[in-house]
Structure 1
Amino acid sequence: MHTRTARVAMAVAAVVASGALTATFVSSGGKGSADAATELNQYVPIEQVRPTVKDPAPGARASKGSFTVDCGTNGNGKFSPDNPVAQPGIRNGAEHVHDFVGNLAITANSSNADLDASGTTCRNGDKSSYFWPVVRIDKSVRSGAEAQRALAATTPRVTCPSVRDRLPAVPAKAKRAVDLRLAELDRGYAAANERMAAGKGRIDARLNTAVLADLRQQRARLIKGISGSIAAAGGGRTSGMVSLVECDTDYDGMHAAMRHTAASVKAGLAANPQVRCPAVRDKLPGVPAQALDEVNRNLAELDRQVSEANERLITTRGQGGKNFVDNAILGPLKAKRTAVLDRIAIAISRNAARPQGLEVLAGCTVTGQAPPQSGATPAPSAPAALPDPQGPNLELPNNTGGIVRPASVLIEYRGNATSKVVAMPKFLRALTGDAKPTSRGPANARATWSCSGFADRLADKYPICPPGSQVQRVQDFPGCWDGRNIDSTNHRDHLAFADPGTGACKQGFVAIPQLRITVSYDLSRDVQTRGQYALDSFPEEDHNPFSDHNDFVNVNSDRQMQKIAACINKGKSCR
């Protein structure tokens, strides 16, 4: 039997002491025992998994219907290492590749207006974005010791979304107050990384949790203050700023010490590029009150242009020659941006000094080219650039092998056992599972793995299915909403899972259509028994099956979401 050495598996604290590498296993995190001889212990025959899945009995007011959406299986190849829900504004923030279906334009930087203007892969016009980590087949040998060595040389850090790059036009009267709070955000980021240095060479979930909690509290206060200063100076109510509060743990340093091997399986894919343009918002001076509305309209137009270009990169793949992207997408984009930047400068100049040098921000590139030059120093919270996915299999360090295209993707909106559902608000952000149960603790992680024909059981290990059965990932999203917010500081608190026994939402929350996504794969029995398929993951997770997760942005129209809720409440099965 072909075996591979154990991967770094559990929540591990590894320290270098007296020249020796020591590992302390804190929690299983889906990885089984600490004495893992080979990574085959991450795989389990589905027949050995205890049946635990049981839906609550529906009550008199239950909403028993379902609404199914067909968005395809990512046949157009929209792959990205961005995570627009958990890490908005952070390029390559996931450090692993996601399958995206639905919204064609979405990137880490997409605004709600950009999402609403996008095309979609969904047959009913649903512009929502649904995305999850890819599964790969890799028959090469991986060494868990290699990942341990990489960890031993790594100092963990935090990564935070840049607030500067996401601000609206800042009124001149608020500029000083906003700049002071931005500087305090930078100091908080630096102080957090000083604390994180205590975790060098190991993974300390308690330290990480404490640092992130303190930083979240500070950033929430400062970002709220920034929004208040802008509003008080006549800049209007800012939106979406709460999404920028949460920071994340960062073990990017492991990448430098990990191999980037070519896979023995070729999926015949080409890298999915993204448009990259210099930030504009943080280069503007304080904007006169008379120009605020016009400048904000033009900033939104810049965003829309980039999203439109990103969508064109998807829909025109394979067209034209080697210069097609430059001539048909980047060239026209530069001309459009030049015109908008000039309009911004003119609007400001009517009541203040004209800003100089905005024209140098017009040129954009695509991933894989040299980054656009803005002439500015990156914000202190900006993460170091990670490598873009490489080659025909979109490989990243330690995430190698051929990507397996799902055989099917079933997207269902379901009801509630105790009550009728209300429509989800447009632009609701949701996630399920946890991409980092090792470095953040397993509290939010969920067992997702199963096989077709075994709907009564879910595993936190990779399943080995009987002949004729498909490997499946069954990912349930929270089905209860706080009735007010489309996001929260940690991207979780505005939603909640229903009580597993009764199906009821907790006090203060209402039932919404509960999203379930089932991703199915046709994998050979040999690949399963040899442990040759695995999830893309963050470096410290090292393909932990318990790090499976799924993300969602609702871009259904209000009318469509009302239709979904009505179908479910009437007990029908709709498409």
Structure 2
Amino acid sequence: MGRNTRKRRTPLAAKVVAGAAALAVGGGGLVWANFNASAHEENRAHNRTRSAAAQIATIDCPDVGQQLSDVPDRARGEVDGELATMDSQITNAYQRLATTRRAQAGDARFVENTILGPLGDRRKAIIDRIQLEINRAGGKADDNLDDLAECQGRPAEQPQDGDGQDGGGQDGGGQNDGQDGDGQGQDDNGNGAAGPVADDFIDINDVQPNSRNSQNGLAANGDGGSTGTFTTDCGVNENNLFNSDNLIAAPGVDNGAHHVHDYVGNQDNDAFSSDQDLANADTSCQNQGDKSTYYWPVLRLQDGTEEFDANDLGGGAEGNIGRILKPAQAELKFVGNQQSDVVAMPKFLRIITGDAKSFTNGDANANSSWSCTGFEDRQVTDKYPLCPDGSQVVRTANFQSCWDGQNTDSANHRDHMAFVQQDGSCPNGFQAIPQLQVRLVYDIPTPTVENGQVQNPYAVDSFPEQLHKPITDHNDFINVMDEDLMNEVVDCINSGEDCQ
């Protein structure tokens, strides 16, 4: 498979992770098997001494980026780079957590003293630099950012806000830790990967229709207002364009996402692409006036396949293992607003929907939606669906469709956009734009769940510490339609037509 390879800037912490993770690369795609084997052996040998520290499943750090609002434009590049380094530090700390299970079992303070404490000190130093960069650029940094330096260990049995909201009975860590005879820890789900686990899956027949409890992602269109649609066909990544960058949140940073994305539409969209690069690029969209970039984390089938990125950061070296699954269908549709006409999106508008860190951040920005064909009135946010024979897995994302009328981005990449309110209208100060709806359909063999184990699971790529939880699914968009096409989209939607 091909991938985007233009690279320039890699946070130092990511290089540390690469060296450590490379030691764990094993055959058959079970890249983190060495980490997990030590946990498995130690649990067998020391089951009687399992301490609270040994039960810690992952690392939970406050999301500094989401708390930033007053960042002057000329400081944003440096601040985004600092935040990317912070992400790499968490990845490095999680890797250490996963490789020291024996030491944790023998010392209840090991995690705090050797992992969390030093991590907090390093985060404090970065926060200080972020504050300095904001103030130097003429902004006013929040003095309370220091309160976000400290991280915590999340025990496997400790749920997070939003977990279990759709399926019930989920335990946050997602497996019967220590209850199945083998005494497996959170880091080994039976296939050598830190998630997903059996409790992350639910039979679609057990999901109640119309039970998805989330204001985020409401469809904006309805019987009133602007009722038309515009569909753009950009394929399913036939060009094999993959990378683990994040052009929106971590521009200029190699491996800023720590997981791999599928890309359709714009063909020049790594972390170092300028707006001019995007405007001059080729596109996979049938309508050549649409050079927008549409991207999402790949799904993988954890079947032992060693992918092209098995040894790479963002891929196998950070726990994202198995065969990459392309969508069988990728439907990209723009719809209107229930209460009003829509206005044109500005060129280069950036929108992130969902939260790649929602397992630890909570569900305030989560916007994952999983279902099966033939059952799409049954949507789940924190479970992967088990679909019956003849049914396919469906991922959908309804983007924020209210724009502040001024900015194409914001410091936390969220404040310039909003979801519609319950009645379909935009909040005060925001105006309705065409709402992007992405529907991805996959042919996936249904995993088998028996005795608290899941065999051949599928999973969304994630930051390592997010444990491949389905609630971390997210979707990204940069508008690079030419002016004529955007006007056509708006006219079509406002006139109630269905166009493509």
Query: What is the TM-score with the length of structure 2 in the denominator?
Result: 0.60
For the residues of structure 2 that align with 1:265 and 1:12, how far apart are their CA atoms?
Answer: 32
Q: 1:509 to 1:57 in 2, by over 3 A?
A: closer
For the residues of structure 2 that align with 1:512 and 1:59, how far apart are their CA atoms?
Answer: 17
Residue 87 of structure 1 deviates from its aligned partner by 1.4
Q: Say yes or no: does 1:52 pair with 2:190.
A: no
21-30 vs 464-473, greater mean Cα deviation: 21-30
> Are the aligned partners of 1:57 and 1:417 in contact in 2 as well (CA < 8 Å)?
yes
SS at 2:471 equivalent: helix
For the residues of structure 2 that align with 1:531 and 1:545, how far apart are their CA atoms?
Answer: 16
For the residues of structure 1 that align with 2:391 and 2:462, how far apart are their CA atoms?
Answer: 25
SS at 2:465 equivalent: coil
> Are the aligned partners of 1:414 and 1:516 in contact in 2 as well (CA < 8 Å)?
yes
Q: Say yes or no: does 1:18 pair with 2:108.
A: yes
Select 1:566's aligned residue among 491, 494, 497. 491
Q: 1:531 to 1:496 in 2, by over 3 A?
A: farther
The one-letter amino acid paired with 2:481 is N
Q: Deviations over 1:177-225 (max 9, x none)?
A: xxxxxxxxxxxxxxxxxxxxxxxxxxxxxxxxxxxxxxxxxxxxxxxxx
Residue 455 of structure 1 deviates from its aligned partner by 2.4
Q: 1:19 to 1:95 in 2, by over 3 A?
A: same
Gaps in structure 2 of 5+ consecutive residues: 1-35, 41-54, 63-93, 98-103, 112-152, 165-169, 177-188, 190-196, 213-217
Query: What is the TM-score with the length of structure 1 in the denominator?
Result: 0.53
Structure 2 partner of 1:136? 300
> Are the aligned partners of 1:447 and 1:458 in contact in 2 as well (CA < 8 Å)?
no
Q: Which residues of 2 match residues 501-540 of structure 1 at below 5 A? A: 501-526=422-447, 530=455, 532-540=457-465
Q: Deviations over 1:19-59 (max 9, x none)?
A: 56674425155462247316110001112223236857846
Residue 397 of structure 1 deviates from its aligned partner by 2.3
Q: 1:566 to 1:554 in 2, by over 3 A?
A: same
Select 1:107's aligned residue among 270, 277, 280. 270
For the residues of structure 1 that align with 2:59 and 2:375, how far apart are their CA atoms?
Answer: 26
Structure 1 partner of 2:394? 472
For the residues of structure 2 that align with 1:122 and 1:396, how far apart are their CA atoms?
Answer: 32
Q: 1:58 to 1:412 in 2, by over 3 A?
A: closer
Q: Say yes or no: does 1:33 pair with 2:178.
A: no
Residue 88 of structure 1 deviates from its aligned partner by 1.3
SS at 1:561 equivalent: helix
Select 1:72's aligned residue among 235, 250, 254. 235
> Are the aligned partners of 1:541 and 1:547 in contact in 2 as well (CA < 8 Å)?
yes
SS at 1:419 equivalent: coil
Q: Which of the two has higher C-alpha Rg?
A: 1
> Are the aligned partners of 2:366 and 2:471 in contact in 1 as well (CA < 8 Å)?
yes
Select 1:412's aligned residue among 333, 339, 361. 333
Residue 544 of structure 1 deviates from its aligned partner by 1.1
Residue 469 of structure 1 deviates from its aligned partner by 1.1
Select 1:116's aligned residue among 254, 279, 285. 279
The one-letter amino acid paired with 1:52 is S
- Identical counterparts, % of pairs: 42
> Are the aligned partners of 1:10 and 1:29 in contact in 2 as well (CA < 8 Å)?
no
SS at 1:67 equivalent: strand
Flag the structure with more relative contact order, 1 or 2, with Cα contacts below 8 A and sequence separation at least 6.
1
Residue 531 of structure 1 deviates from its aligned partner by 5.6
Q: 1:562 to 1:401 in 2, by over 3 A?
A: same
> Are the aligned partners of 2:260 and 2:297 in contact in 1 as well (CA < 8 Å)?
yes
Q: 1:539 to 1:67 in 2, by over 3 A?
A: same
Q: Which residues of 2 match residues 443-462 of structure 1 at below 5 A? A: 443-459=364-380, 460-462=382-384
Residue 446 of structure 1 deviates from its aligned partner by 1.9
Q: Say yes or no: does 1:495 pair with 2:404.
A: no
> Are the aligned partners of 1:535 and 1:543 in contact in 2 as well (CA < 8 Å)?
yes
SS at 1:396 equivalent: helix
For the residues of structure 2 that align with 1:489 and 1:461, how far apart are their CA atoms?
Answer: 31
Q: Say yes or no: does 1:127 pair with 2:276.
A: no
The one-letter amino acid paired with 1:265 is T
Once superposed, what is the RMSD of the aligned Cα atoms?
2.9
> Are the aligned partners of 2:221 and 2:338 in contact in 1 as well (CA < 8 Å)?
yes
Residue 553 of structure 1 deviates from its aligned partner by 0.5
Structure 2 partner of 1:151? none
SS at 1:543 equivalent: coil
For the residues of structure 1 that align with 2:266 and 2:438, how far apart are their CA atoms?
Answer: 16
Structure 2 partner of 1:91? 254
SS at 1:564 equivalent: helix
